[in-house]
Amino acid sequence: MKEKEQKILDTSLPLFVEKGFHGTSTAEIAKTAGVATGTLFHYFKTKEDLIDRLYIYTKENILEASQGDYDESKSFKENVKSLWLNFVNFGIKEPYKFNFIMTFHCSPYITSFTKGRIEEKFVDLLEVYKKGLKEDEIKPVYDELLMDYFWGNVLNTITHFEKNPEKRKKNNIELAFELFWDGISK
- The string of pLDDT tens digits covering residues 17-33 is 999 999 999 999 999 99
Q: Please answer whether residues 40 and 29 qualify as being in contact, where contact means their C-beta atoms are separated by less than 8 angstroms.
A: yes
Give yes or no for residue 89 having a pLDDT over 70.
yes
Span between the terminal Cα atoms of the chain, in Å: 45
Residues near 172 by beta carbon (within 8 Å), at least 6 away in sequence: 161
Asked if 28 and 68 sit in the same domain, the reply is: no
Asked if 149 and 166 sit in the same domain, the reply is: yes
Cα distances (angstroms) measured from residue 121 to each of 31, 38, 59, 117: 34, 33, 9, 7
1 — pLDDT class (breaks 50, 70, 90): low
67 — pLDDT class (breaks 50, 70, 90): confident
Question: What's the pTM value of the predicted model, to 2 decimals?
Answer: 0.85
Asked if 149 and 71 sit in the same domain, the reply is: yes
Give the pLDDT mean for 154-168.
96
Q: Please answer whether residues 63 and 27 qualify as being in contact, where contact means their C-beta atoms are separated by less than 8 angstroms.
A: no
Asked if 59 and 95 sit in the same domain, the reply is: yes
Give the pLDDT mean for 153-169.
96
Residue predicted with more confidence, 1 or 72: 72
Domain edge (last residue) among 45, 61, 79: 45
Percent of the chain with pLDDT over 90: 63
Give the pLDDT mean for 107-114.
80
The number of domains in the chain is 2
Q: What is the average pLDDT score of the chain?
A: 90
Give the pLDDT mean for 58-68.
85
Give the pLDDT mean for 2-30.
95
- Residue 143: domain span: 46-184
Give yes or no for residue 118 having a pLDDT over 80.
no
Asked if 118 and 84 sit in the same domain, the reply is: yes
Asked if 65 and 146 sit in the same domain, the reply is: yes
CATH number of the domain at 141, please. 1.10.357.10
Give the pLDDT mean for 159-167.
96
